Homo-oligomer: A and B are copies of this chain.
Amino acid sequence: MMNIGVVGYGYWGPNVARNFHSCPGAKLTMVSDISDKRLGQAQSMFPFIKVTKDALELVRSKDVDVVAVVTPVIMHYEVAREALLAGKHIFVEKPFTTTSDQARQLIELADKKGLKIMVDHTFLFTGAVRKMKEIINSGALGRLLFYDSVRVNLGLFQHDVNVIWDLAPHDLSIMDYVLPKEPIQVAAHGARHVAGSKIENIAYITLRFADETLAHFHVNWLAPAKVRRIIIGGSKKMLVFDDLSPDEKIKIYDKGLKFRETDDSELRQALAGYRIGDMYVPNIETTEALRRETDHFLECVRTGARPESDGDAGRRVVRILVAAQESLARNGAFIDL
């Protein structure tokens, strides 16, 4: 039986607690939070657990084998480090840490102690994102040309992190998972619309790769209607992921470039035309992503396998967030990764 402790019982913590508790062979044993009210909620939902305001008590408790760190990002590193030092496997909310260096330290520490790290990149466990990866891996799209991601809606303003740190981890972790290559440069533009705030509520991020692939992300807390869409252009086919569509989340278009000779120079015609074919919507599995994810992590702990969103995946995402932040501060300049 694996004993689970959850640090942080705010918005997302109860979901993490519930899902770990429902995994076969696992049991929630402790919850920690700084709020008495939230501890009361945890206790009422799980009468058999121990609750504490002291995160250290939890991470060092011998009744805990796995620590889920569901605190604000600023505290991830400290709590995760103490948990690893106490010999616990860790499941850390995204983004993993606030600096790449912190991420590297945690990864090294876990390796040294033979412990597992999993970063909660929940989207990687949805049927739609797994289908995207499967399609890209199959080579069906051909050479990857561009990756365009939009995640906008009327969302709550955070007062401790900007829209890049709040929303982009979702999209960067998806891209990191489905693309078989890593970006080399980042630029970001943003704006702040709340008087007196130093926090960007809209941002555009551009990523360059070693080849001519271009990736771009639009994240926005102030849009009137939700858009959650990724367009991936390939030389053979193209893919659209619309996360808001109830039953057509992934569309694969048999469309692409077609080169042809032109003989009508006076018309200054196109050198390249296009090809239009059928479109195809694969059926997507609909099991709950978080449940699939907690199962996967516990399986990795048991078998020693590497989690699909391990510490290094967490670090790669953090590295881009940090560079994007630096680009914002440097007037949108491209920052090397």
For A181, list chain B residues within 8 Å (CB).
none
Q: Which of B160, B222, B280 contacts A281 (CB 8 A)?
A: B280
Q: How far is the CA of A277 from the CA of B154 in the complex (A)?
A: 12
A156 touches B231 (CB 8 A): no
- Which of A93-101, A264-272, A318-326 touches B? A264-272
A270 touches B158 (CB 8 A): yes
Interface residues in A226-283 (C-beta closer than 8 Å to B): 226, 231, 233, 235, 238-240, 244, 246-248, 251, 253-255, 257, 259, 262, 266-274, 276-283
B157 touches A272 (CB 8 A): yes
Q: How far is the CA of A251 from the CA of B220 in the complex (A)?
A: 18
- Which of A76-84, A102-110, A191-199 touches B? A191-199
Number of copies of chain A assembled together: 4
B257 touches A194 (CB 8 A): yes
- Which of A62-70, A171-179, A302-310, A329-337 touches B? A329-337
A273 touches B156 (CB 8 A): yes
B268 touches A276 (CB 8 A): no
- Check: A145 CB closer than 8 A to any chain B CB: yes
Q: How far is the CA of A145 from the CA of B190 in the complex (A)?
A: 11
Q: How far is the CA of A154 from the CA of B276 in the complex (A)?
A: 9
B194 touches A157 (CB 8 A): no
Q: Which of B35, B156, B283 contacts A277 (CB 8 A)?
A: B283
B191 touches A332 (CB 8 A): no
For A272, list chain B residues within 8 Å (CB).
157, 194, 197
- Check: A146 CB closer than 8 A to any chain B CB: yes
- Check: A202 CB closer than 8 A to any chain B CB: yes
For A238, list chain B residues within 8 Å (CB).
222-224
B158 touches A255 (CB 8 A): no
B281 touches A156 (CB 8 A): no
- Check: A187 CB closer than 8 A to any chain B CB: yes
Interface residues in A180-222 (C-beta closer than 8 Å to B): 187, 189-194, 197, 202, 204, 206, 212-214, 216, 218, 220, 222
* Residue in chain B with minimal CB distance to A275: B154
* Contact A270 B233, CB 8 Å, known A280-B278, A280-B280: no
* Contact A34 B266, CB 8 Å, known A225-B247, A253-B225, A278-B283: yes
Q: How far is the CA of A156 from the CA of B264 in the complex (A)?
A: 15
For A267, list chain B residues within 8 Å (CB).
10, 35
For A202, list chain B residues within 8 Å (CB).
145-146, 214, 233
- Check: A148 CB closer than 8 A to any chain B CB: yes
Q: Distance (Å) between the CB of A45 and the closest chain B CB?
A: 12
Most buried by B among A212, A240, A272: A272
B278 touches A145 (CB 8 A): no
- Check: A159 CB closer than 8 A to any chain B CB: yes
Q: Which of B253, B257, B269 contacts A193 (CB 8 A)?
A: B257
For A283, list chain B residues within 8 Å (CB).
254, 276-279
For A40, list chain B residues within 8 Å (CB).
none
Cross-chain pairs A/B with CB under 8 angstroms, 15 sampled: A35-B266, A145-B193, A146-B220, A148-B218, A157-B272, A158-B268, A189-B206, A189-B214, A192-B212, A223-B231, A224-B239, A224-B251, A225-B231, A278-B280, A279-B283
